[in-house]
Amino acid sequence: MINYKWSARYNAFFPVSLLSSYEANWQDISDLIDIDDAVESEFNGEPPLGKTRVVGSDGLPAWGDIPAPTQEELAVVAEQQKTYLRSTADSEIAWRQDAVDTGMATDAETTALAEWKTYRVLLMRVDTSTVPYINWPQPPASN
């Protein structure tokens, strides 16, 4: 018994039991073909490491290499990392600045405040569009 159909156009499996719903909601699934349940099970599960499901040259599902990220994708990840590191620096600076402002800071806290501020300035100067060649500044040692 055939339980799934395959669409090369969408690189997707469609359960036969839900076809009427798909036909009503998808623009065009006219390329559906019957697919063996064993093929659906293999290619609708966890892919092998470094692989993703693709449409093979025969129009059937196949495993293909995950493409390397684009420069733009790498830049987005780098910008997210920069935002995370900035948030950490902001947090470390805030309480130390409060201690200085209230006259309660120890010498170590005052020194660490200056180090964290320097780190934050260097961090904000990082150009994330230069991935993968970013030279991230090192945060101050924990005090």
Q: DSSP assignment, residue 16?
A: G
pTM of the complete model: 0.64
Burial class (CB in 10 A: 0-12, 13-18, 19+), 34: exposed
85-138 confidence digits (pLDDT tens): 999 999 999 999 999 999 999 999 999 999 999 999 999 999 999 988 999 999
Average pLDDT over all residues of the chain:
94
- Say yes or no to pLDDT of 22 above 90: no
- The pLDDT value given to residue 116: 98
Domain ranges of the chain: 4-65, 71-130
34-50 confidence digits (pLDDT tens): 999 999 999 998 999 99
Burial 75-111 (b: 16+ CB within 10 A, else e): beebeeebeebeeebeebbeebeebeeeeebeeebee
- Mean pLDDT to the nearest integer, 11-31: 87
- Mean pLDDT to the nearest integer, 69-79: 94
Q: How far apart are CA 72 and CA 60, in angstroms?
A: 31
- The pLDDT value given to residue 143: 58
Alpha-carbon separation of residue 15 from 37, 131, 132 (angstroms):
10, 42, 42
Amino acid at residue number 111: T
